Amino acid sequence: MLGIVVACGGGLFVVFGIRKTNESNALSRYVPADTIESIPFGVPIVATGTVVADQPLTSPVTQKPCVYFDYVLEREVESKDDRENTNWHWQQVGSPEKQTIPFYLQDQSGKMLIKPDGCEVNGIFRTQQFLQPGTISNLSGGLKLLADAFQFATTAAKGNRERVTESMIAIGSNLNVFGIATLEGEQKFLQKTHDYPLVLSPLSKDQLVGSERKNAYLFLGLGALLIIIGLLLMTQK
């Protein structure tokens, strides 16, 4: 039975590895655009520019103007091992919260509309802050928080801590957008398709492709190893 479980776990790693391989192959087909103005239609491209927006969001954690943020709330909880020793680990509270708005990517040639709904983000700015104990329990409206609902703490004793981890795309930051240009009315914008995702990242194409390939090799290698171990366990008498 153990061998079957181990081999099945290896199979899942192989599936993840194949998925990462497909993602890296898709990213490798994006073509860097010289300027935003020169972006062609119907071709997967990488556009580089500065993030601008008329009415930006406000990051709940950093209080900076932004066009995208997502955050996760966590509480430190106690657990005990077989010897009744106390261990502390972080447990997510609720579901991650995300908010985003359409924005413009701008360079010296002009600007293009980006509609980030359903986008993927990779390598964007990430920050983590401790909260005053009890902040999560006292929040109203579920976990859809307003910026002033967070009560930050400079220090907190282990075993009585809460924290928020946020990823954010700030106004004025440099960004690479991977997508396919299309036209809506007279407005040109970048979107995702079935074959090509819309990816927002400060990382270059080479950096993203390399990262995805490393992850693919890691999953495939672990998967193959677990499958071999599972098969060996199943053949033991």
Domain edges within the chain: 1-29+203-237, 32-195
Query: What's the length of the chain?
Result: 237
Q: Which amino acid is at 22?
A: N
In whole angstroms, give the CA distance from residue 32 to residue 78: 49
Average pLDDT of every residue of the chain = 84
Sequence-distant (6+) residues with CB within 8 A of 114 are 102, 103, 104, 105, 177, 179, 189, 190, 198, 200
pLDDT of amino acid 235: 80
* Alpha-carbon gap, residue 96 to 229, rounded angstroms: 36
Given pLDDT bands bounded at 50, 70 and 90, which one contains residue 169? Answer: very high
Q: What is the pLDDT of residue 143?
A: 45
Contact 159, 88 (CB under 8 A): yes
Between CA 82 and CA 78 the distance in angstroms is: 14
Q: Which helix (H) or strand (E) holds 174?
A: strand 174-184
Does 140 score more than 70 pLDDT?
no
Degrees (nearest 5) of the Cα angle 97, 146, 199? Answer: 35
Place 231 in a pLDDT band, splitting at 50, 70 and 90: confident
In sequence order, what DSSP letters do the residues of 41-69 get, joined into one string? BSSEEEEEEEEE-SS-EE-TTT--EEEEE
Residues in contact with 10: Cβ distance below 8 Å, sequence separation at least 6, in sequence order: 222, 223, 224, 225, 226, 227, 228, 229, 230
pLDDT exceeds 90 at position 175: yes
**C-alpha closest to that of 177 among 68, 38, 45:** 45
Distance (Å, whole) CA 164 – CA 96: 10
N-terminal to C-terminal alpha carbon distance within the chain: 12
Query: Does position 11 have pLDDT exceeding 80, yes or no?
Result: yes
For residue 156, the model assigns a pLDDT of 63
Closest CA to 192 of 115, 102, 122: 115
Residue listed under structure tokens 């890691």: 218
**Roughly what angle, to the nearest 10 degrees, separates helices 2-28 and 205-235?**
160
Residue 38, both tokens: 């020169």
